[in-house]
Amino acid sequence: MLEKRFANGVLVLTFNHFNRLSWLRHGFTTRIGGVSAPPFNSFNLGKNTSDEKEALKENYNRLINGNEAETFKIFLTNQVHGDTIQCVAFDKEISRDETIFDKTDGLMTKESEAFLMSFYADCTPLFLLIRSIALWRLVTRDGKGQSKILGRRQLNKCVLSIVQIQRIY
C-alpha cells in the first residue's frame, strides 16, 4: 500500500512496509507542490527540460528540505532504457552538490547520506531494498514493447563489491 504525505508542500508517495524502517527515507513524487509554470505544472525536477532554472532550483530545495536531507549528496540518472546500474560510493570522486550518471537506468548504494533520484515517464520503477543497500532497479521497454531487466551481471558485481547480502525486503 502507498501512503501519501506532504514534505515541504510536495506530495510524496511512500510504501507502508518501508515506512517501518526508521533508517530508510524513500518516496515517489508527483506534480503536486512545486513552482514550475505550464507546461511543467508544477513540481518538475527534469534538468533536461526548458523549465526555468530558478523554478527547478526551488523544486529541488523543497524536495531536499522536506525530506531533511540538506547534508546529503544527490545522485541522478539520465535514463536511456539500457541495463547499466551505477554503484554510488563516497570513496569515489563525486561532485559537492550533485552527480549525474549519464546513460544509467539504476542506482544502488550502501551510503546512508546518498539521495538517489531516477526519472521515468514510460517505465515501471522497481525499488528493491537489500539490507544495508538502497537499490533502484528499473524495468524498461524498448521500442518494440519488449521488457528489459537491468543487467544481472552489473547488479551482481555491484552487490558483491559493497556488501554481503543478509536479507531482502
Domain range enclosing 8:
1-70
Q: Contact 44/51 with Cβ under 8 angstroms?
A: yes
**Predicted TM-score (pTM) of this structure:** 0.73
Whether 42 and 83 share a structural domain: no
Domain edge (last residue) among 70, 94, 114: 70
The b/e string for 90-127 (b: 16+ C-beta within 10 A; e otherwise) is eeeebeeeebebeebbbbbbbbeebbbbbeeeebeeeb
pLDDT per residue over 52-98, tens digit each?
999 999 999 999 898 888 888 888 888 887 778 888 877 655 555 67
Whether 60 and 110 share a structural domain: no
Task: Classify residue 40 by burial, with Cβ atoms within 10 Å: 0-12, 13-18, 19+.
Answer: buried
Whether 59 and 99 share a structural domain: no
Residue 54's pLDDT is: 95
Residues 14 and 27: their CA atoms lie apart, in Å, by: 5
Whether 62 and 120 share a structural domain: no
Whether 64 and 90 share a structural domain: no
Whether 84 and 154 share a structural domain: yes
Confidence of residue 140 (pLDDT cuts 50, 70, 90): very low
Count of the separate structural domains present in the chain: 2
| 17: pLDDT strictly greater than 80 | yes
Whether 35 and 106 share a structural domain: no
Whether 56 and 112 share a structural domain: no
Give yes or no for a cis peptide into 42 (omega within 30° of 0): yes
| 33: pLDDT strictly greater than 80 | yes
Whether 167 and 131 share a structural domain: yes
